Amino acid sequence: MRYALAGGGKRIRPVLCLAVGDALGVEPVELLPAAAALELVHSFSLVHDDLPALDDDAVRRGQPSAHVRFGEATAILAGDALLAEAYRLALSYGSPDVARELARSTLAMIGGQYLDVTGGEPDLEALDRLKTGALFGACIGCALAVAGVPSDEQAPWRQFGGEIGLLFQLVDDVLDEDGHVLTLGVNGTRRLAEHALRRADDCLDRVAADTSVLRDIAGGLLERTS
Amino acid sequence: MRYALAGGGKRIRPVLCLAVGDALGVEPVELLPAAAALELVHSFSLVHDDLPALDDDAVRRGQPSAHVRFGEATAILAGDALLAEAYRLALSYGSPDVARELARSTLAMIGGQYLDVTGGEPDLEALDRLKTGALFGACIGCALAVAGVPSDEQAPWRQFGGEIGLLFQLVDDVLDEDGHVLTLGVNGTRRLAEHALRRADDCLDRVAADTSVLRDIAGGLLERTS
């Protein structure tokens, strides 16, 4: 479990959760269990997706994948335990809302991976929403839950999460030269990403919070090169 | 997911949860999400334990195991989704307590399986407590949570859960001719199971509830032949 977590990565999900919380006036320490839980769910999905029966990736972030380093049995169990530990952390809050965000998004993510593996869903955008968008949405949702933002004020925030997830996936496609790049080309895909960034900024115009850090993060996601 | 659940089995975990709830005056319908979540966690563990990298069991309850029937990728994802769906159900309650019982016991169970697979724990009783006892404990714990039994009245109930888990495992060993039977023989193991049943009954003497159904279930666990 530690090996899977310590390999680095961008930590974009916890960063996003903490940044939304910060904009809403929540102390980072209050958000840490939720932020960590989000990274654990992401990490669980990578460990299982790398398995030979799924994507069969022997390398993750320049290091041997968990199953290559520790064997398949341990990797399967480590993935399981990363998911369970994520819920344990999410359940350290008095309200079940953070854990509910996690449960909803984990199910969507696994459903997306299932459709991808079995070829049951040809629609790339539906797949992206399930495989990437749902957990990005939960990053925002967890912060809203901890901040206690009422449901009727959550719409622009949640929409922001959707755009950020899309933006992230589009830039991923450009960097990996797959997904949308196969039909739209690099320039077409980058253009879509720029539109998503613009819509994300529009969402932030509609919330009463200091969103400067979030705008920097969103802009950085468009410019990233890894 | 449905295939893994529909294969039958004794459903002893949900039955135990419902019976404790019944003794405490909780309507069965109130306990159904918790009871189903417990069976889903059990089912998740069977699907993953049967995988070639773990116990490599091709048959489960007289039917092809999930990975034999649907392939390894689908079985891994189905196990993941059974676990996530268990949390979603457990989180349908207003309080996070049921889901917390689940998180604690899932982590213990995965830890037990890890120790078993890697040979890191030679102590059979510690293994049994992790692999079987923890989730049996959660069956009781979930019912206590839904019934709102105060922590300082939970001790005999929780002890009952521990004894029932031990009893279940000892009878399993007798039926499978492994575990404790290898050191204590069939008769020695049955004797231990009878002691566990007696202690379980003693626990029920100490709670203010109609425990007749629970006593029948406990007695039935000693007499079961499959």
Burial class (CB in 10 A: 0-12, 13-18, 19+), A140: buried
The total number of structural domains that make up chain A: 1
Q: How far is B180 from chain A (nearest CA, A)?
A: 25
Say what the pLDDT of residue B120 is: 73
Say what the pLDDT of residue B201 is: 96
pLDDT tens profile A176-220: 999 999 999 999 999 999 999 999 999 999 998 999 999 999 999
Q: How far is A48 from chain B (nearest CA, A)?
A: 8
pLDDT surpassing 90 at residue B7? no
Phi/psi at A63 (5° precision): -120, 160
Does A1 reside within a domain? no
Task: Report the 3 state secondary structure along B81-126.
Answer: HHHHHHHHHHCCCCCCHHHHHHHHHHHHHHHHHHHHHHCCCCCHHH
DSSP string covering B148-171: T--GGG-HHHHHHHHHHHHHHHHH
Does A125 reside within a domain? yes
CB contact under 8 A, A73 and B104: no
Q: Tell me the average pLDDT across A166-180.
A: 94
Does A29 reside within a domain? yes
pLDDT surpassing 90 at residue A11? yes
Does A40 reside within a domain? yes
Say what the pLDDT of residue A123 is: 87
Does B69 reside within a domain? yes
Check residues A58 and A226 and name the one with the higher pLDDT. A58
pLDDT tens profile A99-145: 999 999 999 999 999 999 998 766 888 898 899 999 999 999 999 99
Does B30 reside within a domain? yes
- pLDDT averaged over chain A? 95
Say what the pLDDT of residue B51 is: 98
- Count interface pairs A-B at CB distance under 8 A: 109
**pTM as predicted:** 0.96
Nearest residue, CB atoms, B87 vs list A54, A87, A93: A87
Q: Which residues of B touch A (CB under 8 A)?
A: 44, 48, 51, 53-54, 71-74, 76-77, 79-81, 83-85, 87-88, 91, 93-96, 99-100, 102-104, 106-107, 110-111, 113-114, 117-118
Q: Which residues of A touch B (CB under 8 A)?
A: 44, 48, 51, 53-54, 71-74, 76-77, 79-81, 83-85, 87-88, 91, 93-96, 99-100, 102-104, 106-107, 110-111, 113-114, 117-118
Question: CB neighbours of B137 closer than 8 A, spacing ≥ 6?
Answer: B105, B158, B161, B162, B165
Say what the pLDDT of residue B82 is: 98
Phi/psi at B64 (5° precision): -60, 135
Say what the pLDDT of residue A121 is: 66
Residue range of the domain that includes B53 = 11-223
Instruction: Find the CATH number of the domain harbouring B194.
Output: 1.10.600.10
Say what the pLDDT of residue A112 is: 94
CB contact under 8 A, B48 and A110: no
The mean-pLDDT minimum among A109-123, A142-156, B16-30, B105-119 falls in A109-123
Structure tokens belonging to residue A18: 């903490």
pLDDT surpassing 70 at residue B194? yes
Do residues A226 and A175 touch, judged by C-beta distance below 8 A? yes
- The length of chain A in residues reads 226
Say what the pLDDT of residue B37 is: 98
Q: Using alpha carbons, select from A158, A156, A124, A126 the residue that is nearest to residue A140.
A: A158
Does B159 reside within a domain? yes
The pLDDT confidence band at residue B45, using thresholds 50, 70 and 90, is very high
Does A3 reside within a domain? no
Identity of the residue numbered A147: A
Question: CB neighbours of A116 closer than 8 A, spacing ≥ 6?
Answer: A127, A131
Instruction: Kindly state the helix (H) or strand (E) to which residue B78 belongs, with its residue range.
Output: helix B72-90
pLDDT tens profile B133-167: 999 999 999 999 999 999 999 999 999 999 999 99
pLDDT surpassing 70 at residue A82? yes
pLDDT surpassing 70 at residue B121? no
CB contact under 8 A, B113 and A77: yes
- To which residue do tokens 């407590």 refer? B129
Say what the pLDDT of residue A174 is: 96
**Max CA separation in chain B (angstroms):** 49
| C-alpha to C-alpha distance for A206 and A158, rounded to whole angstroms | 12
